[in-house]
Amino acid sequence: MDLSFWALFALTVFTASMVPGPSTLIAFTHGARYGWKQVLATALGNMSASVVQAILACAGLGIVLAKSAVLFMVIKYAGAAYLVYLGFSMWRGASNGLDIDGDKRSEADTTGRLYRSGFLVAASNPKAVVFFTALFPQFLDPSGTAVTQLTGMVVLIALVSFSVAMIYGFVGSRLSVLRLSRRFMGRMHKAIGGLFVASGIGLAASRG
């Protein structure tokens, strides 16, 4: 996999990770309540969960790769279809804004608790494994070593998940309250949904 595909992979994961959700919201609220330095623990917890989910996805792909190249291609195109479906779902989805008051009542005030909360919130989303399973085949180069490429993808996922959590934590440390309007959230989800549709179609067509 050449540098342009590594960059595209990192950008795809970063774009998906920046969408407001439980993991980003907990990083934001920890930043707002404890300061961005304390969010390091939350970000590490989020990163750890993302790595576990990515490894689970890799393990499933490794079994498929070892047994059937045809089945691998089926999963590849099914994954591309899933990305398109995800994009259309985001396009249609309605956003109701963000309310962080409930999270602010959290009693987590130590590094260990912040780490555990970051890990558990991220790990509670089983769709991440499905997403990684759909995404990985789009970037695997059949002429390369699968283990090396998957390892690189896991490392990039770790870096991206940590960075995104820190970004939200930093924003949270600077703002006491963040409320995004329904209109803004709707536009953002449509834009990102469009990117996923284009990504799924483009990546499926890039390699036969």
124 vs 50: CA distance, rounded Å: 11
Burial class (CB in 10 A: 0-12, 13-18, 19+), 79: buried
The confidence score (pLDDT) of residue 91 equals: 73
45-81: pLDDT as tens digits: 999 999 998 988 887 765 665 566 676 677 677 767 7
Going from N- to C-terminal start, the domains of the chain cover: 22-76+93-179
4: confidence class by pLDDT, cuts 50, 70, 90: confident
